Amino acid sequence: MPEILLTGFQPYGGRQLNPSAEIIRALDGTKIAGCSVRGMLLPVSFKAAQQPLEDAIAEHRPTVVVSAGLWPGEPVIRLERVAVNRASFEMPDNDGQRPLDENVDPGGPVARAVTLPVGKIIPALRAKGIPARTSDTAGTFLCNATLFRALGACERAGTGARCGFVHLPYLPQQVAELLDELSNEGRLELHQRADLASMCLDMMLDAVGTILTLSLDPS
Amino acid sequence: MPEILLTGFQPYGGRQLNPSAEIIRALDGTKIAGCSVRGMLLPVSFKAAQQPLEDAIAEHRPTVVVSAGLWPGEPVIRLERVAVNRASFEMPDNDGQRPLDENVDPGGPVARAVTLPVGKIIPALRAKGIPARTSDTAGTFLCNATLFRALGACERAGTGARCGFVHLPYLPQQVAELLDELSNEGRLELHQRADLASMCLDMMLDAVGTILTLSLDPS
Amino acid sequence: MPEILLTGFQPYGGRQLNPSAEIIRALDGTKIAGCSVRGMLLPVSFKAAQQPLEDAIAEHRPTVVVSAGLWPGEPVIRLERVAVNRASFEMPDNDGQRPLDENVDPGGPVARAVTLPVGKIIPALRAKGIPARTSDTAGTFLCNATLFRALGACERAGTGARCGFVHLPYLPQQVAELLDELSNEGRLELHQRADLASMCLDMMLDAVGTILTLSLDPS
Amino acid sequence: MPEILLTGFQPYGGRQLNPSAEIIRALDGTKIAGCSVRGMLLPVSFKAAQQPLEDAIAEHRPTVVVSAGLWPGEPVIRLERVAVNRASFEMPDNDGQRPLDENVDPGGPVARAVTLPVGKIIPALRAKGIPARTSDTAGTFLCNATLFRALGACERAGTGARCGFVHLPYLPQQVAELLDELSNEGRLELHQRADLASMCLDMMLDAVGTILTLSLDPS
């Protein structure tokens, strides 16, 4: 019985919400193209986020593993192509840890390539009217580290699982709150901000559903 | 019987859609807070767009006049504060005309101030989770010219009508198409683009409904 | 003996430098096209910045009045077209005052138009290889208020003085410091920043010299 | 006798200039920290750019290999961390070729890590007042392919050469020309542009000199 493993992150950086957590809340326990979705909410912790994910891959041997995360300011659905073996956090994680220029896995390769059918997914998303693009960097924060470790775990599981990462824009209400906060604090110098784009949850869910459906299809 | 006049524009600049036209399509003939909405679709023409709008204001003497237009790249609902007496088009209109450094109305003032209760509207939109901001420039394209003329027509009508302009982001499908076009044509240098943000139509409709409702309320 | 009045601002917003103050430091007391430059450094204070400027215009009756200010994130020399009668500060000034939705001059018009030969200046700057553009909003911070008051003072002086405002990018060292600060504080989420552009002081001086020279020429 | 190999690219994408070519023109044949600089101008050709560079590394066995290229819109000196084994050109090269989703080297690893002392260089640049940052993606255009191949050639040479890539902003005159072109063609919708930042050549030369000096120093 094939299974999808879909992970998201808890809120971080002082934010109330994380769109990837909302995705998990909505899709955990549902079926997509006849396949059960196991949702998994990861802590925003360099130390604690990785092992549970690797264990889940080893134990449940999912057919498809997709992690989702927030990229503040990203205006479109963004599908990653590659994860690098580097952790250099621009801000502390929720444990207060901030690795700088470390390896995610000291014994690992320089990078790992995503195994989702990205070239099939992007045109399908756009054909549905969903703005989407590929990306060749998942950053060096926890999103990248998670993708790097998940790809390694899938390799070790030897199941041929397809594994990748989708970066999500802010939810609209997050930008509404951000504008209010900045304004109240006298810091709303809009010309300094590149992070006011957002996407509604329904469109994100449609996007993630499409990504999972096409990733299940071996053709 | 109080009436709302709501205007939008036809597509322009080679685009298939204009979110402001979709707003008109959805709201024309409906009632908002008990008040009829008269929708009016304006041509993207410096010559032909203004007179019909001025005539409609003179004839129907609406209580509220709101024009809507697209601002490619804008990530949030953007409520204008002011219209200037200057037309300097960055691109030709749909008639192929491109005024450069002209007055909208050679006998008019330097600028006119919007008369919507903007200070009440922005917090209300954000409280609903809709990203919104004010702006002190409506540009010098047709949107600004339309606002400048509408404000003048409302003054002449002497009805105390509240009049303003809302700039809308792209619809998501417009960005999906833009990405596809750029990609197909070998022009997808993403680092050159600042216009990939979008907002779904439902949220735009919610925003415009809120703007109209609060503009009707004299308190 | 014709005279140029050139104003700049002190640093603000926790910054160490203001490029407009460096411009004043470099050009005060020099001659441009045979005309003396009187440099004037204004405090970043809604209350205290305006009167000294108005007094200087009344007393010295300059032929050309150009104010300069920083616009963080602006990548090019930006020449304003218009000042609006509105003060709505996104952050407190150096006195800790933060006007919100006030008039700059309660008895004044909605806006005043710049009287520099902008249409002649922009092509000249570009021909020299200096990136430059016009702008139809000077914001609603102190820059706009200063321009609004200076234009009014020039009108009252009745000398036909040409008066305008130039917004400047960051100096490169300011961006270098900003990147360091953000990095040290764990706030370097680059995807949130739209304010990393800069321009070297020599090019700014060349630009301001060109603006002043062309503004002196009555043809 | 240690040698520096410094490469740049010819103009491309319809542009008249490439800042990296100007860097080569200025530094070829000079000495930096007592070490000769061999400048090499590469064609913007996926087919023809790589072999000459690999041959030069094999033949001259340089101590330091730095390639430079333009990243339109980049506001700061940007030092790459990694090259990926993927070529997916967003636009055709100067031969009219446009690889899509190909490998740079079908037999190579997923990615290679830069061997310059990046962690030492960035603070040094900022301390000199030069805006600089690291990057974890060199894109998937020719810059990335060149870096990927150069790193491989240095490995094969077995000399322990330090090898990396620096992305440069536009030169100011390029942005001046771009603004003029867009304006003349009626395409100056500034809200669509994210590529108006620039840096003067002197600062780029100072940056490249610093990068080379620090890369020579084995400590």
CB contact under 8 A, A90 and C192: no
**Is pLDDT at A6 greater than 80 in this prediction?**
yes
Q: What does the DSSP 8-state code read for residue D208?
A: H
Report pLDDT digits (tens) over D96-129: 999 999 999 999 999 999 999 999 999 999 999 9
CB B72 within 8 A of CB D191: yes
pLDDT at A163: 98
- CA-CA distance, A192 to A195, in Å (whole number)? 9
Q: Whose CA is closest to A35, among A74, A76, A6?
A: A6
Which run of H or E residues covers position C80? strand C77-80
Assigned token pair, B28: 């024309």
**Cβ-count burial of A52 within 10 angstroms (0-12 exposed, 13-18 middle, 19+ buried)?**
middle
**Is pLDDT at C169 greater than 90 in this prediction?**
yes
pLDDT at D219: 74
Provide the whole-model pTM. Answer: 0.95
Task: Please give the distance of CA C193 from its chain centroid, rounded to a whole number.
Answer: 23
**How large is the ipTM?**
0.94
**Is pLDDT at D192 greater than 90 in this prediction?**
no
CB contact under 8 A, D84 and A136: yes
pLDDT more than 70, % of chain B:
100
pLDDT at D27: 98
Mean pLDDT of chain A: 95
**Cβ-count burial of D47 within 10 angstroms (0-12 exposed, 13-18 middle, 19+ buried)?**
exposed
CA dist C198 → C84, C132, C189, D74 (Å): 27, 13, 19, 11
Report pLDDT digits (tens) over B195-219: 999 999 999 999 999 999 999 987 7
Chain A residue numbers with beta carbons less than 8 Å from the beta carbon of B131 are 172, 175-176, 179, 196, 198
Assigned token pair, D181: 């072109």
Mean pLDDT of A42-68: 97
> What are the residues of chain B with a beta carbon less than 8 Å away from any beta carbon of chain A?
75-76, 123, 125-133, 172-173, 175-177, 179-180, 190, 196-200, 202-203
**Is pLDDT at B1 greater than 90 in this prediction?**
no
Mean pLDDT of C205-212: 98
Query: A196 CA to chain C: closest CA distance, Å?
Result: 8
Cα–Cα–Cα angle for D136, D134, D48, nearest 5°?
A: 65
- Predicted confidence band of residue D95 (pLDDT cuts 50, 70, 90): very high
Mean pLDDT of chain C: 95
Which run of H or E residues covers position A52? helix A50-60
**Is pLDDT at D187 greater than 80 in this prediction?**
no
Report pLDDT digits (tens) over A156-210: 999 999 999 999 999 999 999 999 998 887 776 777 888 999 999 999 999 999 9
CB contact under 8 A, B112 and C110: yes
Assigned token pair, D55: 């041959």
- Predicted confidence band of residue C1 (pLDDT cuts 50, 70, 90): confident
CA end-to-end span of chain A? 19
**Cβ-count burial of A191 within 10 angstroms (0-12 exposed, 13-18 middle, 19+ buried)?**
middle
Report pLDDT digits (tens) over C101-159: 999 999 999 999 999 999 999 999 999 999 999 999 999 999 999 999 999 999 999 99
Neighbours of chain C (3+ CB pairs under 8 A): A, B, D
Every domain of chain D and the residues it spans: 3-171+198-216
B172-184 vs A118-127: helix crossing angle, rounded to 10? 130
A100: number of Cβ within 10 Å: 12
Q: Could you tell me which CATH number the domain at D3-171+198-216 has?
A: 3.40.630.20
Buried b (16+ CB within 10 A) or exposed e, C129-149: bbbbbbbbbbbbbbbbbbbbb
pLDDT at C192: 84
Strand locations in chain D (E): 3-9, 31-32, 35-42, 64-70, 77-80, 82-84, 111-113, 132-135, 162-168
Query: C187 CA to chain A: closest CA distance, Å?
Result: 6
Kindly give, in sequence order, each residue whose CB lies less than 8 Å from that of residue B66, ignoring residues fewer than 6 positions away: B4, B5, B6, B7, B116, B163, B164, B165, B166, B208, B211, B212, B215
- Predicted confidence band of residue A219 (pLDDT cuts 50, 70, 90): confident
- CA-CA distance, C63 to A154, in Å (whole number)? 74
